[in-house]
Amino acid sequence: MCANYFHYHFWSSDLCIALLILTRISRMKWSYCRYCGSSLGEQATERRQSVKCPNCSCIDQDYLIVGAGAAIEDNSRLLLIRRLTDPFKGCWNLPAGHVDPDEPPDRAAVREAREETGLECQITSLQGVYFFDDHPKGCGIFIVYRCAAVGGSLRETDEACSPSFFAKYEIPSNLAGGGHSIAIKAWQQSFA
Ligand SMILES: [Zn+2]
């Protein structure tokens, strides 16, 4: 029994050290120049806005994340879906996602709406652009378009479940971050 006790503590402390190392690694910033591959040294492991590469002099910089989303409306109600993945797993959000580097954001919003809800949408207007600083991958802007469904059929996907339309006073309280809660509250307030 005594041996088992020490055995257990040996492995649990070992596991703790491994987890600590993994945590440190996951928090380290990219430390090589994205243009020439040279090491950017210690400066790149701290939070920074930009780092000049000592070899090629290019500026290695953090950029804002750009997301686009669809505020799909029907009869003064807003379509929300529930996230099945982290971050913000279990929270409600708009159909949305990252804008690809060669993609116009309005097209990204329509594409994400199709992928996450099965609906074909038409953009009616730009609702707003929202800054967020609560996403684990960094700060970003979330571009939201008001949309109307013009085809397809509502369905669940691997990323989101329970697609549902909510009236202004029915909006759930557990809303996702990454600009979603700000955008959804702005939609609510647009009826005031
Ligand atoms: Zn370089």
Of the two residues 158 and 110, the one the predictor is more confident about is 110
Distance 22 CA to ligand 1 centre (A): 27
* pLDDT at residue 32, as a whole number: 80
- Pair of tokens at residue 137: 């991958």
Compute the distance between CA of residue 75 and CA of residue 64 in angstroms, rounded to an integer: 34
Location of structure tokens 């210690």: 42
Look up residue 12 and give its DSSP letter.
H
First to last CA, the chain: 68
Q: What is the pTM of this model?
A: 0.75
Question: How far is C-alpha 126 from the chain's CA centre?
Answer: 20
Distance 51 CA to ligand 1 centre (A): 10
CA distances from residue 77 to 11, 65, 85, 160 in whole angstroms, order as listed? 54, 28, 25, 19
Distance 34 CA to ligand 1 centre (A): 7
Q: pLDDT of 98-154, one tens digit each?
A: 999 999 999 999 999 999 999 999 999 999 999 999 999 899 999 999 999 999 999
Distance 39 CA to ligand 1 centre (A): 8
Distance 32 CA to ligand 1 centre (A): 8
Distance 58 CA to ligand 1 centre (A): 6
User: What is the set of domains in the chain, with CATH numbers?
Assistant: 2-61 (no CATH), 65-189 (3.90.79.10)
Distance 98 CA to ligand 1 centre (A): 27
φ, ψ for residue 3, nearest 5 deg: -60, -40
Count other C-beta atoms under 10 Å from residue 141's C-beta: 16
